[in-house]
Amino acid sequence: MIYDPENKEVYFSTEMIQSEEDANASYEHFKAYQQECINNPGSMFKNLMRDADGVPSNAKTAFGVITSIAFIVCIIAATLCIPIKKYEYIPWIIGALMLVLGILPFVALNPKKASGFAVSALCQRIGGAVSLLGAAGLITVHFLYPKDNMTLYLLALLCEIAAVLFLAMLVQTIGYVKAPKTVYSEEVNATCIGYVRTYISNGAHDAIPMFLPVHSPVFEYYYGGTKYQAYYDLLQNGKDGKIPVGSETKIRIDPASPGRLYGDNKNLLSGPVCGTILFFVAAVVLLILLLI
Protein backbone atom coordinates (compact mmCIF):
# COMPACT_ATOMS: atom_id res chain seq x y z
CA MET A 1 0.00 0.00 0.00
CA ILE A 2 1.44 3.36 -1.01
CA TYR A 3 2.37 5.50 1.99
CA ASP A 4 0.72 8.91 1.81
CA PRO A 5 1.71 11.39 4.56
CA GLU A 6 -1.64 13.13 4.02
CA ASN A 7 -3.57 9.96 4.88
CA LYS A 8 -4.40 10.37 8.57
CA GLU A 9 -5.60 6.78 8.88
CA VAL A 10 -2.14 5.68 10.04
CA TYR A 11 0.43 7.16 12.41
CA PHE A 12 4.03 7.36 11.21
CA SER A 13 7.15 7.33 13.36
CA THR A 14 10.77 6.16 13.10
CA GLU A 15 10.62 3.96 16.22
CA MET A 16 10.96 0.23 15.64
CA ILE A 17 10.34 -0.58 19.32
CA GLN A 18 7.71 1.87 20.39
CA SER A 19 8.36 3.99 23.47
CA GLU A 20 5.53 4.74 25.88
CA GLU A 21 5.47 8.32 24.65
CA ASP A 22 5.22 7.26 21.00
CA ALA A 23 2.57 4.64 21.83
CA ASN A 24 0.47 7.30 23.54
CA ALA A 25 0.92 9.63 20.58
CA SER A 26 -0.11 6.82 18.23
CA TYR A 27 -3.28 6.10 20.19
CA GLU A 28 -4.17 9.79 20.43
CA HIS A 29 -3.69 10.04 16.67
CA PHE A 30 -6.03 7.06 16.20
CA LYS A 31 -8.71 8.58 18.46
CA ALA A 32 -8.45 11.89 16.62
CA TYR A 33 -8.89 10.08 13.30
CA GLN A 34 -11.94 8.27 14.68
CA GLN A 35 -13.47 11.56 15.77
CA GLU A 36 -12.73 13.09 12.37
CA CYS A 37 -14.50 10.17 10.71
CA ILE A 38 -17.53 10.72 12.93
CA ASN A 39 -17.58 14.42 12.14
CA ASN A 40 -16.83 13.91 8.43
CA PRO A 41 -18.13 10.49 7.31
CA GLY A 42 -17.47 11.45 3.70
CA SER A 43 -13.76 11.73 4.45
CA MET A 44 -13.73 8.29 6.07
CA PHE A 45 -15.53 6.77 3.09
CA LYS A 46 -13.01 8.41 0.74
CA ASN A 47 -10.12 6.83 2.67
CA LEU A 48 -11.77 3.41 2.58
CA MET A 49 -12.10 3.66 -1.19
CA ARG A 50 -8.38 4.26 -1.80
CA ASP A 51 -6.76 1.76 -4.12
CA ALA A 52 -3.32 0.18 -3.66
CA ASP A 53 -1.69 3.32 -5.08
CA GLY A 54 -3.33 5.41 -2.36
CA VAL A 55 -5.67 7.09 -4.84
CA PRO A 56 -9.44 7.24 -4.23
CA SER A 57 -10.98 4.90 -6.78
CA ASN A 58 -14.36 5.75 -8.31
CA ALA A 59 -14.60 2.24 -9.72
CA LYS A 60 -13.92 0.68 -6.33
CA THR A 61 -16.47 3.02 -4.76
CA ALA A 62 -19.13 2.05 -7.29
CA PHE A 63 -18.51 -1.68 -7.02
CA GLY A 64 -18.29 -1.47 -3.23
CA VAL A 65 -21.64 0.31 -3.01
CA ILE A 66 -23.29 -2.10 -5.46
CA THR A 67 -21.98 -5.17 -3.64
CA SER A 68 -22.90 -3.87 -0.19
CA ILE A 69 -26.43 -2.89 -1.21
CA ALA A 70 -26.99 -6.18 -3.05
CA PHE A 71 -25.75 -8.22 -0.08
CA ILE A 72 -27.85 -6.36 2.51
CA VAL A 73 -31.03 -6.33 0.42
CA CYS A 74 -30.79 -10.01 -0.53
CA ILE A 75 -30.04 -11.23 2.99
CA ILE A 76 -32.91 -9.21 4.48
CA ALA A 77 -35.30 -10.36 1.75
CA ALA A 78 -34.31 -14.03 2.17
CA THR A 79 -34.73 -13.77 5.95
CA LEU A 80 -38.19 -12.23 5.61
CA CYS A 81 -39.29 -15.20 3.49
CA ILE A 82 -39.08 -17.50 6.53
CA PRO A 83 -41.75 -15.96 8.81
CA ILE A 84 -44.19 -15.56 5.89
CA LYS A 85 -43.39 -19.13 4.71
CA LYS A 86 -42.54 -18.10 1.14
CA TYR A 87 -39.58 -20.48 0.95
CA GLU A 88 -39.77 -20.82 -2.83
CA TYR A 89 -38.50 -17.23 -3.16
CA ILE A 90 -35.27 -17.96 -1.28
CA PRO A 91 -33.32 -19.59 -4.17
CA TRP A 92 -34.17 -16.67 -6.47
CA ILE A 93 -33.06 -14.09 -3.92
CA ILE A 94 -29.83 -15.84 -2.87
CA GLY A 95 -29.25 -16.79 -6.52
CA ALA A 96 -29.45 -13.12 -7.51
CA LEU A 97 -26.84 -12.27 -4.86
CA MET A 98 -24.55 -15.04 -6.11
CA LEU A 99 -25.05 -13.76 -9.65
CA VAL A 100 -23.92 -10.24 -8.70
CA LEU A 101 -20.93 -11.55 -6.73
CA GLY A 102 -20.04 -13.87 -9.59
CA ILE A 103 -20.12 -11.18 -12.27
CA LEU A 104 -18.05 -8.58 -10.40
CA PRO A 105 -14.64 -10.35 -10.70
CA PHE A 106 -15.08 -10.44 -14.48
CA VAL A 107 -16.08 -6.79 -14.96
CA ALA A 108 -14.29 -4.95 -12.11
CA LEU A 109 -11.74 -2.41 -13.32
CA ASN A 110 -8.11 -2.81 -12.25
CA PRO A 111 -8.71 -5.65 -9.76
CA LYS A 112 -5.01 -5.68 -8.86
CA LYS A 113 -5.22 -2.12 -7.58
CA ALA A 114 -7.77 -2.95 -4.89
CA SER A 115 -6.42 -2.20 -1.42
CA GLY A 116 -5.84 -4.98 1.07
CA PHE A 117 -4.16 -8.34 0.64
CA ALA A 118 -4.48 -9.51 -2.97
CA VAL A 119 -5.04 -12.84 -4.65
CA SER A 120 -4.45 -13.46 -8.36
CA ALA A 121 -6.95 -12.31 -10.96
CA LEU A 122 -7.32 -15.96 -12.02
CA CYS A 123 -8.24 -16.95 -8.48
CA GLN A 124 -10.76 -14.10 -8.28
CA ARG A 125 -12.36 -15.23 -11.52
CA ILE A 126 -12.51 -18.86 -10.38
CA GLY A 127 -14.29 -17.62 -7.26
CA GLY A 128 -16.67 -15.67 -9.50
CA ALA A 129 -17.32 -18.78 -11.59
CA VAL A 130 -18.11 -20.76 -8.41
CA SER A 131 -20.63 -18.09 -7.45
CA LEU A 132 -22.24 -18.16 -10.89
CA LEU A 133 -22.49 -21.96 -10.77
CA GLY A 134 -23.98 -21.61 -7.29
CA ALA A 135 -26.70 -19.32 -8.64
CA ALA A 136 -27.49 -21.82 -11.40
CA GLY A 137 -27.47 -24.65 -8.85
CA LEU A 138 -30.01 -22.91 -6.63
CA ILE A 139 -32.43 -22.43 -9.51
CA THR A 140 -31.91 -26.08 -10.51
CA VAL A 141 -32.73 -27.22 -6.97
CA HIS A 142 -35.82 -25.01 -7.04
CA PHE A 143 -37.20 -26.84 -10.09
CA LEU A 144 -36.00 -30.36 -9.23
CA TYR A 145 -37.28 -30.68 -5.68
CA PRO A 146 -41.05 -30.84 -5.06
CA LYS A 147 -42.55 -28.02 -2.97
CA ASP A 148 -45.01 -30.38 -1.29
CA ASN A 149 -42.12 -31.72 0.81
CA MET A 150 -40.83 -28.45 2.21
CA THR A 151 -38.33 -30.12 4.57
CA LEU A 152 -36.63 -31.90 1.68
CA TYR A 153 -36.74 -28.73 -0.40
CA LEU A 154 -35.06 -26.61 2.30
CA LEU A 155 -32.44 -29.29 3.01
CA ALA A 156 -31.53 -29.34 -0.68
CA LEU A 157 -31.24 -25.54 -0.76
CA LEU A 158 -29.08 -25.45 2.36
CA CYS A 159 -26.89 -28.28 1.05
CA GLU A 160 -26.31 -26.43 -2.23
CA ILE A 161 -25.50 -23.17 -0.44
CA ALA A 162 -23.08 -24.95 1.93
CA ALA A 163 -21.36 -26.63 -1.03
CA VAL A 164 -20.93 -23.28 -2.82
CA LEU A 165 -19.56 -21.61 0.32
CA PHE A 166 -17.15 -24.53 0.80
CA LEU A 167 -15.81 -24.12 -2.74
CA ALA A 168 -15.61 -20.32 -2.36
CA MET A 169 -13.63 -20.63 0.90
CA LEU A 170 -11.37 -23.27 -0.65
CA VAL A 171 -10.59 -21.04 -3.64
CA GLN A 172 -9.89 -18.11 -1.31
CA THR A 173 -7.58 -20.24 0.86
CA ILE A 174 -5.64 -21.41 -2.20
CA GLY A 175 -5.44 -17.83 -3.43
CA TYR A 176 -3.95 -16.63 -0.15
CA VAL A 177 -1.41 -19.48 -0.03
CA LYS A 178 -0.33 -18.94 -3.65
CA ALA A 179 -0.25 -15.11 -3.45
CA PRO A 180 3.57 -14.85 -2.93
CA LYS A 181 4.07 -16.54 -6.32
CA THR A 182 1.02 -15.37 -8.27
CA VAL A 183 0.73 -11.74 -7.12
CA TYR A 184 3.74 -10.62 -5.07
CA SER A 185 6.17 -12.26 -7.45
CA GLU A 186 8.94 -9.66 -7.73
CA GLU A 187 11.70 -9.34 -5.13
CA VAL A 188 13.42 -5.96 -4.72
CA ASN A 189 15.87 -4.30 -2.34
CA ALA A 190 14.33 -1.74 -0.01
CA THR A 191 15.23 0.49 2.92
CA CYS A 192 13.04 0.68 6.02
CA ILE A 193 12.37 4.39 6.65
CA GLY A 194 9.95 4.07 9.56
CA TYR A 195 6.71 2.46 10.72
CA VAL A 196 3.00 3.11 10.32
CA ARG A 197 0.66 2.12 13.14
CA THR A 198 -3.04 2.09 13.83
CA TYR A 199 -5.60 0.02 15.73
CA ILE A 200 -8.24 -2.53 14.80
CA SER A 201 -11.41 -3.39 16.67
CA ASN A 202 -11.38 -6.56 18.75
CA GLY A 203 -15.04 -6.61 19.75
CA ALA A 204 -16.43 -4.99 22.86
CA HIS A 205 -16.46 -5.72 26.56
CA ASP A 206 -19.15 -4.12 28.73
CA ALA A 207 -20.13 -1.98 25.71
CA ILE A 208 -16.58 -0.52 25.56
CA PRO A 209 -14.81 -1.14 22.23
CA MET A 210 -11.44 -2.86 22.51
CA PHE A 211 -8.69 -2.09 20.03
CA LEU A 212 -5.52 -3.96 19.17
CA PRO A 213 -2.43 -2.28 17.72
CA VAL A 214 -1.24 -3.18 14.22
CA HIS A 215 1.79 -1.94 12.34
CA SER A 216 3.92 -2.21 9.24
CA PRO A 217 7.39 -1.07 8.22
CA VAL A 218 7.42 1.64 5.58
CA PHE A 219 9.88 0.83 2.80
CA GLU A 220 11.52 3.04 0.22
CA TYR A 221 12.56 1.32 -2.98
CA TYR A 222 12.91 1.72 -6.73
CA TYR A 223 11.15 -0.30 -9.38
CA GLY A 224 11.15 0.44 -13.09
CA GLY A 225 13.04 3.66 -12.44
CA THR A 226 10.34 4.99 -10.08
CA LYS A 227 10.76 5.56 -6.35
CA TYR A 228 8.09 4.15 -4.04
CA GLN A 229 7.29 4.48 -0.36
CA ALA A 230 4.89 1.79 0.72
CA TYR A 231 3.90 -0.56 3.52
CA TYR A 232 2.47 -4.06 3.74
CA ASP A 233 -0.96 -4.64 2.21
CA LEU A 234 -1.72 -6.60 5.38
CA LEU A 235 -0.73 -4.86 8.62
CA GLN A 236 0.94 -7.01 11.26
CA ASN A 237 -0.36 -7.55 14.79
CA GLY A 238 1.40 -5.80 17.67
CA LYS A 239 3.04 -2.41 18.08
CA ASP A 240 6.74 -3.31 17.79
CA GLY A 241 8.57 -3.98 14.55
CA LYS A 242 11.43 -6.33 13.73
CA ILE A 243 13.24 -4.46 10.95
CA PRO A 244 15.59 -1.67 12.14
CA VAL A 245 14.88 1.73 10.66
CA GLY A 246 17.57 2.60 8.11
CA SER A 247 18.40 -1.02 7.35
CA GLU A 248 18.15 -2.63 3.93
CA THR A 249 16.15 -5.76 3.26
CA LYS A 250 14.42 -7.63 0.46
CA ILE A 251 10.67 -7.32 -0.02
CA ARG A 252 8.17 -8.90 -2.38
CA ILE A 253 6.01 -6.61 -4.51
CA ASP A 254 3.35 -6.97 -7.18
CA PRO A 255 5.07 -6.03 -10.48
CA ALA A 256 1.70 -5.08 -11.97
CA SER A 257 1.12 -2.62 -9.12
CA PRO A 258 4.51 -1.91 -7.48
CA GLY A 259 2.90 -0.17 -4.49
CA ARG A 260 1.64 -3.53 -3.23
CA LEU A 261 3.86 -5.25 -0.63
CA TYR A 262 3.59 -8.79 0.66
CA GLY A 263 3.32 -9.21 4.42
CA ASP A 264 2.89 -12.34 6.50
CA ASN A 265 -0.65 -13.62 5.87
CA LYS A 266 -0.80 -16.45 8.42
CA ASN A 267 -3.40 -14.66 10.53
CA LEU A 268 -5.47 -13.96 7.43
CA LEU A 269 -5.58 -17.67 6.56
CA SER A 270 -7.41 -18.74 9.72
CA GLY A 271 -10.79 -17.42 8.53
CA PRO A 272 -10.86 -19.08 5.08
CA VAL A 273 -9.41 -22.35 6.44
CA CYS A 274 -12.01 -22.53 9.22
CA GLY A 275 -14.74 -21.61 6.73
CA THR A 276 -13.59 -24.31 4.31
CA ILE A 277 -13.75 -26.99 7.01
CA LEU A 278 -17.04 -25.76 8.48
CA PHE A 279 -18.92 -25.55 5.18
CA PHE A 280 -17.51 -28.89 3.99
CA VAL A 281 -18.83 -30.60 7.12
CA ALA A 282 -22.17 -28.79 6.76
CA ALA A 283 -22.51 -29.84 3.10
CA VAL A 284 -21.71 -33.48 3.91
CA VAL A 285 -24.14 -33.60 6.85
CA LEU A 286 -26.93 -32.00 4.81
CA LEU A 287 -26.27 -34.36 1.90
CA ILE A 288 -26.53 -37.36 4.24
CA LEU A 289 -29.85 -36.05 5.58
CA LEU A 290 -31.09 -35.69 2.01
CA LEU A 291 -30.19 -39.27 1.13
CA ILE A 292 -31.59 -41.06 4.18
- Interval 4-16: pLDDT, tens: 888 888 999 999 9
Helix/strand/coil for 103: helix
Computed over every residue of the chain, the mean pLDDT equals 85
Helix/strand/coil for 28: helix
What's the confidence (pLDDT) of residue 43? 60
Q: Which of 93-107, 143-157, 200-214, 263-277 has the lowest mean pLDDT?
A: 200-214
C-beta neighbour count of 78 within 10 angstroms: 18
Residue 149 has pLDDT above 90, yes or no: no
Enumerate the β-bridge partners of residue 204.
209
Residue 181 has pLDDT above 60, yes or no: yes
CA–CA separation, 178 and 184 (whole Å): 9
Mean pLDDT, residues 229-257:
93
Work out the percent of the chain whose per-residue pLDDT is above 70.
86
Burial letters for 109-135: b for 16+ Cβ neighbours within 10 Å, e otherwise? eebbbbbebbbbbebbebbbebbbebb
CA–CA separation, 198 and 235 (whole Å): 9
Q: How many residues does the chain have?
A: 292
What's the confidence (pLDDT) of residue 231? 95
Largest CA distance in the chain: 71
Burial letters for 87-105: b for 16+ Cβ neighbours within 10 Å, e otherwise? beebbbbbbbbbbbbbebb
Band (253; pLDDT cuts 50, 70, 90) = very high
List pLDDT tens digits, range 184-222. 999 999 999 999 999 987 765 555 557 889 999 999 999
CA–CA separation, 52 and 184 (whole Å): 13
Enumerate the β-bridge partners of residue 237.
214
List pLDDT tens digits, range 44-87. 556 655 665 656 555 555 666 677 787 788 888 888 887 887 87
Residue 99 has pLDDT above 60, yes or no: yes
What's the confidence (pLDDT) of residue 245? 96
Work out the percent of the chain whose per-residue pLDDT is above 90.
47
DSSP class of residue 235 equals P
CA–CA separation, 117 and 232 (whole Å): 8
Residue 113 has pLDDT above 60, yes or no: no
CA–CA separation, 2 and 9 (whole Å): 13
Amino acid 194 reads G
CA–CA separation, 289 and 261 (whole Å): 46
In the chain, alpha helices (H): 20-39, 41-48, 58-81, 90-107, 121-144, 150-182, 266-291
Residue 153 has pLDDT above 80, yes or no: yes
What's the confidence (pLDDT) of residue 223? 95
